[in-house]
Structure 1
Amino acid sequence: MSKTLFDKVWDSHVVRKIEDGPDVFFIDRHFIHEVTSPVAFLGLKSRGNSVLYPEKTFATADHNTPTIDQHLPVADPLSANQLKALEENAKEWGISHWGLGHRKNGIVHVVGPENGITLPGSTIVCGDSHTSTHGAFGAIAFGIGTSEVEMVLSTQCIMQPKPKRMRINIHGTLGLGVTPKDVALYIISRLTTSGATGYFVEYAGDVFENMTMEGRMTVCNLSIEMGARGGMIAPDEKTFDYIKGRTYTPKGAEWDKAMTYWETLYTDKNAIFDKEYNFNATDIEPMITYGTNPGMGMGITNKIPEAHTIGGGESTYKKSLNYMKFDEGQDMIGKKVDYVFLGSCTNGRIEDFRAFTSLIKGRKKAENITAWLVPGSHEVEDQIKEEGLLDIITEAGFMLREPGCSACLAMNADKIPAGKLAVSTSNRNFEGRQGPGSRTLLASPLVAAATAVTGVVTDPRTLLKEEAIA
């Protein structure tokens, strides 16, 4: 019987099926951080349970960590307590812990792949929505709640109903200045934030096959923003080349054994999906959001849609635009911006910094812009320095901060002030997401870079064309 990639991985991890109920599902890798794990550990202790497989859980501090002066004590008492609790719980239960000051520290969905913890055909969970990032490797990865974190710690299993299957195909070649972030925002704008609810998505077609692993991670990261349980891409030679030789990947004969399995991880020719979409790469241009959810996005050269064209929910739509201080029919290009944020588990990898610096090179930061450039890990930070990108950043008038989630969700000091407008490479633009009263425009690293040097929302293609002419 023909199977989808998702079915192959899911079915091989079902420990027990419950009639008319969820599957008991085995978890290969479990990531924890300082925000969702403390209560889970308290529940574990109150029940007299222990961590069943501590070697399968990996802890890193990222959400609450400061991005400047990380060598100093954390000033915020709540953040400091959560970071201390993570360290103590990891030590008590023998769990690998990469806290502040550790060279492997960074955003959980950045350091996992960097260290080869994320592997094809594996099942991965974390108490974080954007765990879907790891699906770029052909893994089933999704976020879980605090009670489920406790369940995985104590049993290495979780109870989950099997999602339906969706495939999104995009064929063709992406145009100038169009990045994986734009591809993801385009899909969400077409499906809406609930269009994939109840589904696990497989991305297929020329566009995804031609993407780098970092680009694939960006796309899978944003799967949750259209309501999907997760997203995945079939592993290929790019996948295997990326993970080979990393700290936690199999070595020698174990690698050969793993490859025998990994090479079976693809969707069979006649496999059936519950829903399927097809898009053309040529229809995608650099994207930007204009509202208060990731589905409210459009090509950067378009005008903000009129309420009557959106098909229902007009009062909510107008409320969103009112919060953003925008009007129907307005252009986004040329709007004055206050902040630019490059980073997060969506766009905090080395390729994102390469893209950003490619546009700011030889230019200067606009005077009205406050920019936070935050690498996703110390490894990314080291690469930025080794490749000479830090010199470009500094010469253009920017400053590189230290690794962490930063202004993605503003759980540390990196908060956009009320009323200020930010172009952000992160994943959510909800009201107050980047700070109480803040206003967020989601965009790619190229759009962020173009905006950072002009001071207004700018189509990066205009700068790229200038460079081509020069």
Structure 2
Amino acid sequence: MGKTLFDKIWDNHVVSSKEGFPDVLYIDTHFIHEVTSPQAFNGLRDRGIPVFRPQQTVATADHNVPTINQHLPIKEELSRVQVDMLTKNCDEFGIELYGLGHPYQGIVHVIGPELGITRPGGTYVCGDSHTSTHGAFGAIAFGIGTSQVEQVMATQCLLQQRPKRMKIEVNGQLQKGVGAKDIILYIISQISAAGGTGYFAEYAGDTIRSLSMEGRMTICNMSIEMGARGGLIAPDQTTFDYVKGRKFAPAGEEWDKALAYWKTLYSDEDAEFDQVLTFKAEDIEPMITYGTNPGMGIGITQNIPSRNEFDKQEQKSYLKSLEYMGLNDNERMLGHHVDYVFIGSCTNSRIEDLRQVADFVKGKRKADNVTAWIVPGSKQVEQQAKLEGLDKIFIEAGFALREPGCSACLGMNEDKIPAGKYCISTSNRNFEGRQGPNSRTFLASPLMAAAAAVTGKVTDIREMI
């Protein structure tokens, strides 16, 4: 029997396997940041042991960093302490840090791919749930807890139970104005925020293969939002072209050797999955969420579901979510007013996202009632945007182009949405208070967010392109 792509990579990284116990899985690269690493470093310090393979650990500051005036001391005390602690820990344990001011600084899931650190066939972990982003390269990548961060630091391995395998196929031609973010929001809306629990998902089909690497990263990024352990996409020529020539990518003979291996990374025709789901690209509209988890999403022309579509037990939590959002069941989202627009996060802060938004807003002006933030995912994205003149387009349109960081995705820094205000966000989560205490989040694509910034309300992007 053939193997799935997931099993090929997993089996290639198993150090030890014993029936009835988790596998000991070797980790190629460990990404760390300032939020989930301090306790792990303290654990090593208490035991008097070093980071086992510091050259396979990549550190950056992203969650707590301000996105304006990064050359000045951080104002928020907790953020300042955490960033300073990361600097101290990396210095003590011999780990290179891409901290504030470094040309490679940025969101951990943006810098790994753009630097050529993320490659097909590898295993990648980070104390961050959206590590699944790296799976877009045909890799096994997933988030881990703080105790596991310490485990990888100490051994470069993890104890892991092998998850079930799910295949999600999307085939067909996307409508105009529909992109990768809409695809994944649609899938999650169809199977729910728990529909992938216990699985590792492989995305396939001609629609997925037509996406750029940046689009594929958006898809894999949100795998965790349907409860899956992670997601991956088989590498192809699009993948190889993206990786080649990047800072830390293989070169010369090493490239040829790596490429030969990468070309074997696909699910065999007779490979068996525990579950297979199929979707038609033509069914996908521009998407928007209305509730407080990413599964509560609808096509832009649809109404919020009626309470009668849920049983009595589900109705209670459903109506609680709508009450928090200030919405009613069976209501239309189209035309709902918007206060803030946030374009950024590890889901949609890459150069293609910024180019797409700049192309749309060029010659337009944001609505007076909207505050619009564009936060690049890395210093390299920021510099490329300025090189292409995108910063001037954003400024003329009334958008604020800020400096790299996680920003308003999670409100752990100075970029918070005020209580009661509505934000259309290109990030990955719309939980209660995620973007600030009592803030209200609609998840959408960069184009949908840009359209809302210009019109001041939830708008069908197809009517404007």
Identify the TM-score tier after normalising by the shorter chain.
Answer: over 0.9
Q: How does 1:276-295 map to 2 (within 5 A)?
A: 276-295=276-295
- Preserved contact between residue 289 and residue 298 of structure 1 (Cα < 8 Å): yes
Deviation at 1:86, TM superposition (A): 0.7
Distance 2:308 2:129 in 1: 32
The residue number in structure 1 matching 2:147 is 147
- Preserved contact between residue 60 and residue 97 of structure 1 (Cα < 8 Å): yes
Deviation at 1:42, TM superposition (A): 0.1
Distance 1:121 1:282 in 2: 31
- Preserved contact between residue 288 and residue 297 of structure 2 (Cα < 8 Å): yes
The alignment's TM-score, normalised by the length of structure 2, stands at 0.99
Matched residue SS, 1:313: helix
Gaps of 5+ in 1: 465-470
Give the partner amino acid of 2:336: K
Distance 2:273 2:188 in 1: 19
Deviation at 1:76, TM superposition (A): 1.2
Give the partner amino acid of 1:452: A
The residue number in structure 1 matching 2:28 is 28
Deviation at 1:99, TM superposition (A): 0.4
- Preserved contact between residue 181 and residue 444 of structure 1 (Cα < 8 Å): yes
Give the partner amino acid of 1:200: F
The alignment's TM-score, normalised by the length of structure 1, stands at 0.98
Confirm whether residue 323 of structure 1 aligns to residue 324 of structure 2.
yes
Matched residue SS, 1:221: helix
Gaps of 5+ in 2: none
- Preserved contact between residue 55 and residue 95 of structure 1 (Cα < 8 Å): yes
- Preserved contact between residue 372 and residue 398 of structure 2 (Cα < 8 Å): no
- Preserved contact between residue 23 and residue 160 of structure 2 (Cα < 8 Å): yes
The residue number in structure 1 matching 2:358 is 357
The residue number in structure 2 matching 1:48 is 48
The residue number in structure 2 matching 1:127 is 127
The residue number in structure 2 matching 1:420 is 421
The residue number in structure 2 matching 1:450 is 451
Distance 2:307 2:338 in 1: 24
Distance 1:190 1:392 in 2: 37
The residue number in structure 2 matching 1:72 is 72
Deviation at 1:326, TM superposition (A): 0.2
The residue number in structure 1 matching 2:382 is 381
Give the partner amino acid of 1:36: T
Distance 1:18 1:51 in 2: 26
The residue number in structure 2 matching 1:468 is none
Moved more, 214-223 or 242-251: 242-251
- Preserved contact between residue 18 and residue 24 of structure 1 (Cα < 8 Å): no
Deviation at 1:260, TM superposition (A): 1.3
Distance 1:77 1:24 in 2: 39
Give the partner amino acid of 1:58: V
State the identity as a percent. Answer: 64
Deviation at 1:395, TM superposition (A): 1.2
Distance 1:92 1:245 in 2: 32
The residue number in structure 1 matching 2:156 is 156
Q: How does 1:50-449 map to 2 (within 5 A)?
A: 50-310=50-310, 313-449=314-450
Matched residue SS, 1:87: helix
Distance 1:460 1:152 in 2: 44
Deviation at 1:19, TM superposition (A): 2.2
Q: CA RMSD in A?
A: 0.8
Give the partner amino acid of 2:294: P
Deviation at 1:307, TM superposition (A): 1.2
Deviation at 1:43, TM superposition (A): 0.5
- Preserved contact between residue 337 and residue 456 of structure 1 (Cα < 8 Å): yes
Distance 1:449 1:76 in 2: 29
Give the partner amino acid of 2:237: E
Deviation at 1:390, TM superposition (A): 1.3
Distance 2:419 2:144 in 1: 31
Give the partner amino acid of 1:359: F
Give the partner amino acid of 2:424: V
Deviation at 1:382, TM superposition (A): 1.1
Deviation at 1:18, TM superposition (A): 2.7
Matched residue SS, 1:211: coil
Deviation at 1:283, TM superposition (A): 0.2
Deviation at 1:166, TM superposition (A): 0.2
**Residues 29-88 of structure 1: per-residue CA shift (max 9 Å, x gap):** 000000000110001111122111000000000000000000000111111111111111
Distance 2:310 2:426 in 1: 25
Matched residue SS, 1:404: coil
Deviation at 1:91, TM superposition (A): 1.2
Deviation at 1:92, TM superposition (A): 1.4
